[in-house]
Amino acid sequence: MKLHFTKMTGAGNDFVLVDNRDGRFPFRPEEIARLCDRHFGIGADGMLVAEKDGAEDRIRMRYYNSDGGEASLCGNGARCFARFLQSLLKGKEGDRVSFLTGAGPVDAWFSGEEVSISMPDPGAARLRQLVATRHGPLEVHWIHTGVPHLVVFVQSVEGIDVEELGRELRWLPDFAPEGANADFVELLGSDRIAVRTYERGVEAETLACGTGVTASALVSHLVKGLVSPVSVLVRSGDCLGVRFEPTGDGFRGVRLQGPAIMVFTGEVEVRK
């Protein structure tokens, strides 16, 4: 059976997007992993599927990591999904679309190649936690931006072995059973940071991570006093923006902005 797909990238974080509103494709984890494989499939950090949701006929974004496992939210994925949904609706919603995710509803706004999305309110962060690593104790900061993230401040992101340390932090028993993504943050100014992220589910460093960028910006405000909006340089060389309004015990009005670009479309054979 042939599956029509769109390949998109959000600051180097790349995705396969599929319109499954008719429910024709019962995607299995092994099939998703094959489609995301960079040697035997299309190649992507994850897969985004558009489905109908409930009696009101709303659109739901389902997000799968490249290992086939489902996650509640992907920030860059949601920005790409918004652009994809805009094309499916043929612009009927104008410069704004809304859809559902496992982390709640998301609103999106368009401005040229840039897409801005609402992010879930993260609630209280757990700051300045000491964890044991093979290189000794390390201070980490935990926050949930739709998925869990550990933020670590470093002198230089270029000097970090993201694959090794990121993998260790991702599997720390302190954050079992779901584990956490690991973000390494370098301060570049009062409103600017650089971030490298090890993503669970991908089990590797990605060129960008939207929820990780958001987590890093919010924790940088809490720990280092950075002010909104925060500009975030990611591994691809792109910059993403994070806006937020601090509250007494957390944040509200969190938005993530950056490019979301269609790369190509095609068809691939899948097993039903």
Domain boundaries, the chain: 2-117+260-269, 126-258
Give the residues across from 150 on adjacent strands.
142, 182
Reported as a single tens digit per residue, the pLDDT across 15-35 is 999 999 999 988 899 999 999
Distance CA 53, CA 246 (A): 32
Percentage of residues of the chain with pLDDT beyond 70: 98
Reported as a single tens digit per residue, the pLDDT across 166-217 is 999 999 999 999 999 999 999 999 999 999 999 999 999 999 999 999 999 9
Copy the structure tokens of residue 120: 């879930």
Is 248 marked as binding a ligand?
no
The CATH number of 126-258, from 2.30.130.30, 3.30.530.20, 1.20.1250.20, 3.10.310.10, is 3.10.310.10
Of the residues 36, 80, 209, 239, only one is catalytic, namely 209
Contact 261, 7 (CB under 8 A): no
DSSP 3-state of 192? strand
Give the residues across from 84 on adjacent strands.
none
Distances (CA, A) of 168 to 102, 159, 162, 210, 215: 26, 17, 10, 21, 19
Is 76 marked as binding a ligand?
yes
Superfamily of domain 2-117+260-269: Diaminopimelate Epimerase; Chain A, domain 1 (3.10.310.10)
Can you state the percent helix, strand and coil of the chain, rounding each to 5? 20, 45, 35
Annotated active-site residue 209? The verdict is yes
Question: How sure is the predictor about 94, in pLDDT bands with cuts at 50, 70 and 90?
Answer: confident
Copy the structure tokens of residue 231: 């500009």
